[in-house]
Amino acid sequence: MPDPEPVTLLLQKLQGGDSSALDSLIPIVYPELKRMAATYLRGERPNHTLQPTALVHEVYLRLVGGDQPDFQSRAQFYGIASRIMRQILVDYARRRTASKRGGGDVKITLGDSFTKYGSGCEVITAVDDALKTLERQDETKARLIEMRFFGGLTAEESAETLSLPVQTVRNQLRVAQAWLHRELDTGFRAGR
């Protein structure tokens, strides 16, 4: 991760109306956003239409387009970026599923712990549906799953974003992961 001070300072300048701060900010955050995207899209076929660079560019367009959130810190910025990344990936998966039943040639993964559910659009939409349910029950746990698996944020970065102790984040994330696995197990056994 880049040094938090310059990013936070640049985000504050951007919020203050200094449009030149964006020119300085992008080269600093771009490598981390690309790492997040690459981590998430790891294992894709080489000619897949959704590459890390394209995903980062779409995240960037959504971050700078329209109303910008009030970024308080570098970690919050990456937390918001991970949420946008999730939205883009879910939209992509839903379009692929609609156009090609099952999206057979798409391989989108959520890491090794989710491979037992298969790969592709069906898994990503199942995770999104489960996260929507979890958000209604416990928004913090849903955000932690989102930041970890869609954004690649560490427990420390998530803790900073949500202003929680790191140990609390680790404990909540374990509970959230267990809940998510149970939801997915139930959904896939029932034929989703």
Find out whether 11 and 71 touch, Cβ atoms under 8 Å.
yes
pLDDT, average across residues 127-135: 89
Could you report how far apart the first and last alpha carbons of the chain are, in Å? 38
Residue 172 pLDDT exceeds 90: yes
Tokens of 76: 């919050």
Q: Which of 1-5, 25-29, 92-96 has the least mean pLDDT?
A: 1-5
Residue 117 identity = Y
Task: Give me the half-sphere count of Cα atoms (radius 13 Å) on the Cβ side of residue 179.
Answer: 18
Token duo for residue 9: 């300072």
Helix axes 155-162, 166-189, angle to 10 degrees: 100
CA 156 – CA 31 distance, rounded (Å): 19
- At 9, the pLDDT band (50, 70, 90 cuts) reads confident
In the predicted model, what is the mean pLDDT of residues 162-178?
92
Say if residue 170's pLDDT is above 90: yes
Place of tokens 């937390």: 79
Where do runs of H (alpha helix) occur along the chain?
4-15, 20-41, 52-64, 74-99, 121-137, 139-145, 155-162, 166-189
Q: How does pLDDT run across 176-192, given as a tens digit for each residue?
A: 989 988 888 887 766 65
- pLDDT (tens digit, 9 = 90+) per residue, 23-81? 888 888 899 888 888 877 765 545 556 788 888 888 888 877 666 667 778 888 888 88
What is the share, in percent, of the chain residues with pLDDT greater than 70?
A: 75
* Whole-structure pTM value: 0.61
